[in-house]
Chains A and B, each alone.
Chain A
Amino acid sequence: MTMERGNDILEICRTSVKLAKHHGAQEVAADAYRVREVSVSWRDGKLEKITEATTRGLGMALYVDGRYSVASTSDLRPGALETFIIDAIALGRTLAPDPFRVLPDPSLYADRPQVDLQLEDADYDQVKPEQRRRISRELEEGVRGERGSDAILSVSTGFSDSWGESVKVASNGFEGMRYGTSYWVGAEVSVKDADGRRPEDGAYAGARFYGALPDHHAIARDAARRAHGRLGARKVGTAVLPMALENRVAGRMVGALIGPLSASSLQQKRSFLEGKLGTKIGSDKLNIIDDPLIPRAFGSRLFDGEGISARRMPVFEGGVLKTFYVDTYYGKKLGMAPTTGRASNLVFPGGAGDQKSLLADMKEGILVTGFLGGNTNASTGDFSLGVQGFMVRGGQIAEPISEMNIAGNQMEIWQRLVGVGADPYPYSAMMTPTLVFDGVQFAGL
């Protein structure tokens, strides 16, 4: 199939901006998107589900007489759009004025990086339905071909892909378009345990280019290995132990550190990191860079959601907090210059080794390979999270553990970061490596 590129949604944005100004908005920002998504699920020898659709929508931020409202719609029928805008403006007029609500200073739109981020696979429309089914089927066959397959209760696999385009137009001089593709492939495996439990685990991978997907036979092997690894898992004694976090799940801990860096959290007094700029939050090993300009990465962008031009930004250097995530609105409330309101790709420089070598260094402790629920108090930094994984003995992975919990405080745990790998997780904008912490409270028996 052929994609019509961009023009109609650009036209919808421009028309909406014009209509909004005509009906009384002084400033307006409009975002429109169109996404085509296809997914195939396969289970136990046959197709389970196919989904295919092209979806679209429009969002608007309206600045009316010093007041602010946001509106979104999927009803782009002629006539409906104008009524929708008139209603949204009328709703905005009923509110209290808000002097902090302005579009970004146009100077922040300038210097948009002139690089090709390679986010769109030009051959997207070459992927055929038979290919998606074949890969899904071969994934299942791969899983069942591995050792221990007599314990398998069910195998679900899938292939999904999407192509998307979005346009942003702001009345103070911003226009930007983005295109992107992505492909995901994965397998989930349920196995039967001796005590009647049916643990499951899986493996998956994603890429912006079809050709960059890893060999799906390797994914099948990994899924089988992970699921079989859960057999016989049990909880062990409550103890304080070293903890290694697998790169695939380390984002859960990093997210609790990054979230409270937003200007909205600071201004609303919901951040344990308020006033901590320039202070040491973690050990020397804590280094994080926000890098929006990595070719083919999932969090890459030339401009952020407000239109602010993207740039590389150190977040932590040697454990010291270097920046907050400041958007226009809360930046104005706080008297801080905007940086960007939202993280792009997170990179962890300066690491060394991989899970194997880091476990060898750790010697005794627990390798966490999955989280289950739990939460973090963003005001105090206290966290308590369900975990599963493996005991580590003599630097080697030993018996599986489950139904355990870790608890601590964000302001303390990063000081005990003793190991950082050079093995970034490739399938997320948060490119976390293996992380090793000393002295973590585990709860179990």
Chain B
Amino acid sequence: MSSTIGYFTRFGVDEQLVARTLAIALSRGGDYADLFFQHQVSTSLSLEDGEVNRAYSGVELGVGVRVVKGDQTGYGYTEELTPEALGRAAETAAAIADGPARPRPEPISIDRNLPHRYDLRTPWDTVRPEQKLPLINRLNEAAFRADARIKKVNVQFADTHGAIMIADSTGRIVEDLQPMTRLFLSCVAEQNGQREQNGYNIAARDGFDFYTDERLDRVVREAVARTTILFDSIVPEAGEMPIVMAAGSSGILLHEAIGHGMEADFNRKNTSIYADKIGKPIAKSFVTIVDDGTGKHQRGAINVDDEGVVAGKTVLVDRGVLATYLHDTISAKHYGVEPTGNGRRESYRHAPLPRMRSTYMENGPHKAGEIIASVKKGIYCQNFTNGQVQIGAGDFTFYVKNGYMIEDGKLTQPVKDVNIIGNGPKVLELVDMVADDLTIDEGGWTCGKDGQSVPVSQGMPTVRVANITVGGRGKGA
């Protein structure tokens, strides 16, 4: 056995220990077991009140042991990578089953046949803080220079150098280096005694050279513009109306309206509004929605998921017809299909679940200008802070931080701070125009489910929703 990137050394374990732990995991008759080793070093530098004056560094080292019996899961984890501690975690997980032991895997071998979606020329553990400091200071100065109304600027620069190793009871070992970086600039502006705050951030599984001048300029320009326009923005009127979702981070609509509901665990449990709808038409024929783990250096990209499955591009809605759920190995077995590489977890402390990667709608037949021109009175939704969904009822929301009124086919009054609420399947039926300007947002989106956070991406071409409830003010009094 040999390991090209030294994972066994990194975790201080060897093949013998892996095999022994898997044997304990299978000792009570589990169908399948895996070990998830994780070592992650994170660093972040923060600027506040003009100085980079706080640093954070974190080390996560641990292993999770999972045993699966049918669709039942036993899970244990430990930070102590000793034979005794690993054995205890494996015994805990093994208890989900209650039968004769299964044989341990033989032989164990490393699968090197993996994609390379985020190889780095310079790994983050070789980038010194002194290289990052001038970049952070420069952003601060540029933000203050951009507009005299800016009163406070915060910058956070974060990077992670992470490694995972998954060993399963088929004898397969998979290793992946998973870098991540994120830069966030937020600002507070003042005008005539009024204050507003907003920001912009970019994230990728990329290295230091991700931070090109062009990207850094955009971070400052967008953060300042998105903040200062709030002084001219109003909270729009409450009630139902058409909306136009701008190209880019509007993918939040897909994430909430359909993405979560297509995660196969909810369907396996019969609790999703999309359960029993595979093969049925749910949208116009020009609507195709995918969840894609393959985007080069994208935040939501993964070479393999956290069960060791190579991640591909999964079609949720194929020309208007509901096509494929997002699977982990448990749900794939339940449905008798191949896993889609959506089994993800926050860390070794958690068992994997079906999760999204990069979710977006493919281009459609319309033009952005034509879509805006088609709306007599509505809202153009541009930037978002957060969203949420009820998997079973299908109701979902997203919070619009910046947007515009559309009046007689033109963008007019800027709007802000309004939550939009709809029902997933109803809204998908009401998507009646899709433009040809798909944009994957470059922001650092994080998705939460069952107390686990994972990095995701989202994207969208310009899209019209014919009717939805806008949570504004000043109507019905």
Contacts and interface: CB of A to CB of B under 8 A. Distances in A.
Judge: A and B partners, yes or no: yes
Interface of A: 43-44, 46-57, 67-77, 80, 84, 87-88, 91-92, 94-98, 101, 129, 153-154, 156, 190, 193, 196-200, 230, 233, 235, 237-240, 268-270, 333, 372-375, 377-380, 382-386, 388, 402-408, 439, 441-445
B72 interface: yes
21 contacts: A49-B73, A53-B78, A68-B55, A71-B56, A73-B61, A74-B60, A75-B39, A84-B59, A95-B51, A95-B52, A96-B51, A196-B273, A199-B393, A238-B476, A372-B389, A379-B195, A388-B395, A403-B423, A404-B421, A405-B469, A408-B473
A268 to B, nearest CB: 6
Contacts of B77: 53, 55
A384 B273 CA distance: 25
A198 B390 CA distance: 9
Interface in B364-407: 385-399
Interface in B193-209: 194-197
Interface in B227-241: 235, 238-240
A385 B269 CA distance: 29
Contact of A52 (B76, B389, B416, B475): B76
Contact of B195 (A156, A380, A384, A445): A380
B419 interface: yes
A373 B271 contact: no
A406 B61 contact: no
Given A51-B351, A384-B418, 11 more contacts: A74-B62, A91-B57, A95-B55, A198-B275, A237-B476, A270-B188, A333-B49, A373-B398, A383-B417, A443-B470, A443-B472
Pick the 6 closest A-B CB pairs, nearest first: A405-B471, A373-B397, A373-B388, A198-B392, A443-B238, A384-B419
A72 B476 contact: no
Contact of B395 (A68, A97, A402): A402
A35 B56 CA distance: 23
B236 to A, nearest CB: 10
B195 A269 contact: yes
Given A53-B89, A68-B54, A197-B394, A382 B235 contact: yes
B437 interface: no
A382 B197 CA distance: 12
B422 A73 contact: no
A44 to B, nearest CB: 8
A154 B269 contact: yes
A443 B476 CA distance: 9
B154 A384 contact: no
Given A382-B235, A443-B472, A445-B240, A69 B72 contact: no
- Interface of chain B: mostly helix, strand, loop or mixed: strand
B190 interface: yes
A199 B392 CA distance: 5
A441 B471 CA distance: 9
Contacts of B154: 268
B413 to A, nearest CB: 16
A408 B240 CA distance: 18
Contact of B272 (A198, A237, A238): A198
Interface of B: 12, 39, 43, 45, 48-49, 51-62, 71-79, 81, 89, 92, 95-96, 128-130, 133, 151-152, 154, 188, 190, 194-197, 235, 238-240, 256, 269-273, 275, 349, 351, 385-399, 416-423, 425, 469-477
B79 A55 contact: yes
Given A54-B78, A74-B61, A98 B54 contact: yes
A198 to B, nearest CB: 4
Nearest to A443: B238
Contact of A407 (B49, B78, B422, B473): B473
Contact of B471 (A52, A443, A445): A443
Contact of A68 (B53, B235, B471): B53
Residue of A156, A199, A237, A374 with highest tally of chain B CB at under 10 A: A374
A156 to B, nearest CB: 7
A47 B73 CA distance: 8
Most buried by A among B54, B269, B392: B392
A408 B190 CA distance: 21
B270 A153 contact: yes
A37 B265 CA distance: 24
A66 to B, nearest CB: 10
A238 B239 contact: yes
Nearest to A188: B271
A118 B56 CA distance: 34
Contacts of A384: 235, 399, 417-419, 471-472
Contacts of A50: 73-75, 92, 95-96
B476 A386 contact: no
A87 B57 contact: yes
A379 B188 contact: yes
A287 B476 CA distance: 31
Contacts of B349: 53, 55
A190 B390 CA distance: 11
A27 to B, nearest CB: 15
A44 B74 CA distance: 17
B399 A373 contact: yes
Contacts of A96: 51-53
Contact of B477 (A53, A237, A240, A377): A240
Contacts of A270: 152, 188, 195, 197
